[in-house]
Amino acid sequence: MAKRSLSSLSTEDLSGKRVLVRVDFNVPLNKEGSITDDTRIRAALPTINDLVGKGARVILAAHFGRPKGQVNDGMRLTPVAKRLSDLLGKTVEKSDSCVGSDAEAKVQAMNNGDIVLLENVRFFSDEENNDAEFAKKLASLAEVYVNDAFGAAHRAHASTEGVTKFLSPSVAGYLMEKELQYLQGAIDEPKRPLAAIVGGSKVSSKIGVLESLIDKCDKVLIGGGMIFTFYKARGLSVGKSLVEEDKLDLAKALEEKAKLKGVQLLLPTDVVLADDFAPDANSQVASIDSIPAGWMGLDIGPASVKVFQESLADCGTVIWNGPMGVFEFDRFANGTNSIAQTLASLSSKGCCTIIGGGDSVAAVEKAGLAEKMAHISTGGGASLELLEGKVLPGVAALDEVA
């Protein structure tokens, strides 16, 4: 069912109302405590600005890191409040706690258009336990609920799911709406041919998504460390490459499933090898049936890049999740960078290119091509679960379109 969005609420609905907005501000910090990438904060601005413009009193709830239910001074949201203030050009007050007297006092003092950022909700174990009393306390600060934290939507926590039982309406923010529109749309009503590029080091972390994508896609292209489990399952020698011995039967089954369904399952035909897992390792290109002992595969090879590019050329929709190799090492980044450039080029020709969260987002940003993609997902686990066809609790809890 389609979920009700913030766009359905007018100034009349929101002016003077206290609105609890769940955002995903789990941003990386350096050792000095400065934010190194504010993408997630920027992604929430359309929702925040819309609410401010409609005269709402905006109460932001977020988590940061994994404090495990304990107050941790290194995981306070102070740097986030500062960066958000800079981005908005207005003061964002921060409470000392997400519930209790300080939060209540700061909310009470709000005027229309003001913004308060509540302290890290995960300082309370009740948040992750989705405790009903804690959810009720959090909800009591507000009258309306907006969930714009797609990156946390696969968790049934108090601030993502529990509060909806006490607040009405409960709607999707603009980022959440966009994520669902692209990711759900790509699976349910794609412009075909639909291709998925799945990378990363382990088959085990992508089993569900691979099975689901083979059911829905016309083509599935596999790269990253997981390819060696498929090769070993075929009886090939893989040298020192990463292999999940307990997933060999699964790899065979996935290839068989694709064949039965008439889905083109492409694995690289050549790989870039290294004699050590290091940025300055010696390297060589080898065909997949002649990988020497003592060498490990760290990228897809140049011939494979060409085959992948040819396969993608006629696609209407491409979903990419996971790098083709160890792109953090420049010597082994060509496969990942080439795929990023290919997708950027396809985007300009009208192909719907979706970067489905995680390391592939970092790879596209490192290549300076983020702006060229149709959609870059802010969710790692949430994107994967949605692509697997799972119901996300944070989405399910929102009001449906009447």
Phi, psi dihedrals of residue 124, rounded to the nearest 5°: -115, 125
CA distance 218 to 308: 14
Side-chain half-sphere exposure of 134, counting CA atoms within 13 A: 20
Output the six-digit token pair for 128. Answer: 């992750």
Q: Please identify which of the residues 69, 208, 381, 389 carries the catalytic annotation.
A: 381
**How far does Cα 194 stand from its chain's mean position?**
20
357 as an active site residue: the answer is no
Q: Please identify which of the residues 17, 82, 136, 202 carries the catalytic annotation.
A: 202
- DSSP 8-state class, residue 130: T
CA distance 97 to 119: 5
> Does the bond joining 393 to the residue before it have cis omega, within 30 degrees of 0?
no
- Contact yes or no for 75/130 (Cβ under 8 A): no
381 as an active site residue: the answer is yes
Output the six-digit token pair for 89. Answer: 């050009």
Q: Please identify which of the residues 3, 40, 54, 94 carries the catalytic annotation.
A: 40
- Contact yes or no for 29/76 (Cβ under 8 A): no
AA letter at 72: N
Neighbours of 204 (CB within 10 A): 13
76 as an active site residue: the answer is no
Output the six-digit token pair for 194. Answer: 């639909």
Output the six-digit token pair for 155. Answer: 């968790």
40 as an active site residue: the answer is yes
Enumerate the active-site residues: 40, 202, 358, 381
